[in-house]
Structure 1
Amino acid sequence: MRLLSAVLKQIHKPPVYTSRQRCLSPLQDEALVSGSSQELVQRLSSQVEVRTAFITEEEEGALLRELEPGLKKKRYEFDHWDDAIHGYRETERVRWGAACEQVLNRVRSVAFPEGSPLLGPVHILDLDKSGYIKPHIDSVKFCGSTIAGLSLLSDSIMRLVKEDASNEWLDLLLPRRSLYILRDQARYNFTHEILKDEESVFSGQRIPRQRRISVICRNLPG
């Protein structure tokens, strides 16, 4: 499904600065966002958001019960049409049970402006433990100014790098059952990726990455 457009980059890690927002997950002593400068962290603070414990264990279970039967029919793939993803299964879903629809409505209400036309199908991306997502910017043909994703089954690290200045970057700690939101400049001008398990380190702390399913909502181009 051609939902991603690859923009590959070599990323170097400068000194780390952290935001004041604190994680309420078991990694409670770690900040959620680190970056190449405090100025960048502050500048993008309204455009990059991570909400920990956005869904409960029960809600995660409800989502998995709907998703697993269809995902099990697919094989993990280790190439992608534009080389953006390795070790993945993906699908789209339009219809959901009542409990899952309630969760998705909550995502939509906090992530998108009221009245914003949304992309109908919800994108489901299942990464194997050895899988990863390379740096890319989602095509403007398929989605608008905002991307919102639930992280199921595993903690992970998302890295954002400025498309025309690779020394400007943010790392986001995405705890299991959290919601991330990317808006506007963070969506259009920065690549985003999910790090490999062996590279999954946040502010010097190892964040083991297991199989990860993301449930992604997008709005339509304006």
Structure 2
Amino acid sequence: MKLLLTVVKHLHKPAVCTSPRRGLSSCASSGGLLAGRDATLIVGSSRELLQRLGSQVEVRADFITEEEEGAFMRELELGLKKKRYEFDHWDDAIHGYRETERLSWGAACEEVLTRVRSVAFDEGSPLLGPVHVLDLDKTGYIKPHVDSVKFCGSTIAGLSLLSDSIMRLVKEDATSEWLDLLLPRRSLYILRNQARYNFTHEILKDEESVFNGQKVPRQRRISVICRNLPG
């Protein structure tokens, strides 16, 4: 199932405030990158924005193990290799990608996905059946867009495989308000409510992949994405 996306162009300013993985910290103009499990993974335009969004934007480092990542790759690689990377998305939102959907998984992957659903979605929340898999080439990227509310609900949760990357969120009607999320390899990101409906999100291309002033090299990246149904 292809998702209807709206592409949005915007300007971006340097980071001014930071948020550690499980809470908020004081404002800073620069900081360490991945200095352990509690390293800063979210930076934003203001402390107020970080506080306002709170639990609506979350990054969980080391959510899966190297072995679990390998299990996903064994299930996905054969099917993905049969597809070519596309550089002209139907609505110009994605560049350099392959994608697929999957309903059934082996036991190891299904156990991880059950864990994803338990931490990301409210109990009883109706979920989209197929899991969306998006494979970005090293030169690929996702442009600023908002997922259509016709096809997905208030929450999106994605595993990041093979590479670190930067996700950028920008408020649609106030582009001076933004967050950058560092998505380490094997992490889980979760976007809810306002972060889903009122902010564009994108994955930066390699040459733009800078987090809080430090380069984060982008390699090939696969995201395994769960969504709930529109309410």
Q: In structure 2, what is the Cα distance between the partners aligned to 1:169 and 1:187?
A: 13
Q: Partner of 2:7: helix, strand, or coil?
A: coil
Deviation of 1:7 (Å) = 2.4
- Tell me the percent identity: 82
Distance verdict in 2 for CA 1:211–1:15, change over 3 Å: closer
Distance verdict in 2 for CA 1:169–1:38, change over 3 Å: same
Q: In the alignment, does 2:110 pair up with 1:92?
A: no
Q: In structure 2, what is the Cα distance between the partners aligned to 1:134 and 1:84?
A: 5
Deviation of 1:21 (Å) = 3.1
Distance verdict in 2 for CA 1:50–1:81, change over 3 Å: same
**For 1:166-218, what per-residue CA distance to the aligned partner results, in whole angstroms no more than 9, with x for missing partners?**
11000000000000000000010000000000000000010001000000000
Q: In structure 1, what is the Cα distance between the partners aligned to 2:48 and 2:108?
A: 40
Q: In the alignment, does 2:21 pair up with 1:21?
A: yes
Instruction: State how many pairs are aligned.
Output: 222
Please tell me the residue identity of whatever aligns with 1:99. Answer: A
Question: Residue 81 of structure 2 corresponds to which residue in structure 1?
Answer: 72
Deviation of 1:30 (Å) = 4.2
TM-score (norm 2): 0.92
Q: For 1:21-60, list aligned pairs within 5 A.
A: 21=21, 30-60=39-69
Please tell me the residue identity of whatever aligns with 1:128. Answer: D
Q: In the alignment, does 2:146 pair up with 1:132?
A: no
Q: For 1:1-222, list aligned pairs within 5 A.
A: 1-21=1-21, 30-222=39-231
Unaligned runs of 5+ in 2: 23-31
Unaligned runs of 5+ in 1: none
TM-score (norm 1): 0.96
Deviation of 1:20 (Å) = 3.4
Q: Partner of 1:41: helix, strand, or coil?
A: helix
Deviation of 1:60 (Å) = 0.2
Deviation of 1:74 (Å) = 0.1
Q: In structure 1, what is the Cα distance between the partners aligned to 2:65 and 2:38?
A: 21
Q: In structure 1, what is the Cα distance between the partners aligned to 2:61 and 2:214?
A: 18
Q: In structure 1, what is the Cα distance between the partners aligned to 2:114 and 2:192?
A: 18
Q: In structure 2, what is the Cα distance between the partners aligned to 1:96 and 1:50?
A: 24
